[in-house]
Every structure is written in structure tokens, then in C-alpha cells.
Amino acid sequence: MKGNKSISKRLRMTKRGKIVARASGQNHFNAKEGAAGHMRRHRQVALHATLTASDKSRFFPRSS
């Protein structure tokens, strides 16, 4: 079964099976951002609680 490439490029699965993504709003206008805001946006956002098992198997077919 083929995975969804558009989702797999944006999301990453950790070793323990959690799905994380990059925080939004990092593409431009970062020079005005303070150091605390810049580091806050570099954190990963966890998505594993919002995805169902069928979504996980559709987006990451080899992980299930």
C-alpha cells in the first residue's frame, strides 16, 4: 500500500510511534522575532493524539 507523500513530508514518526510536525509560522518574518519566540517555534508539535489508527496506517503504511 502506498503512503500519502504530502503528509509524510510534513510529519515524522518517532521511535515510540508518536507523530510530530514542525510548528507553524516559521517560513518568513523571523528576523523580527525575539530569541524566546524563535526557540518556541522550533519545538515539535505532537499530533499522535488527534490521528486515528486508520489515519496512521494510511499516512505511514509501514509503521503499523
Query: How much is the pLDDT for 1?
Result: 65
pTM, two decimal places: 0.53
Query: How much is the pLDDT for 55?
Result: 73
Query: How much is the pLDDT for 46?
Result: 76
Query: How much is the pLDDT for 63?
Result: 53
- Angstrom CA distances, 29 to 22, 35, 41, 45, 46, stand at 17, 13, 12, 20, 24
Topology classification of domain 5-56: Factor Xa Inhibitor (4.10.410)
pLDDT tens string 12-60: 878 887 788 887 777 788 788 888 888 877 777 777 666 777 777 777 7
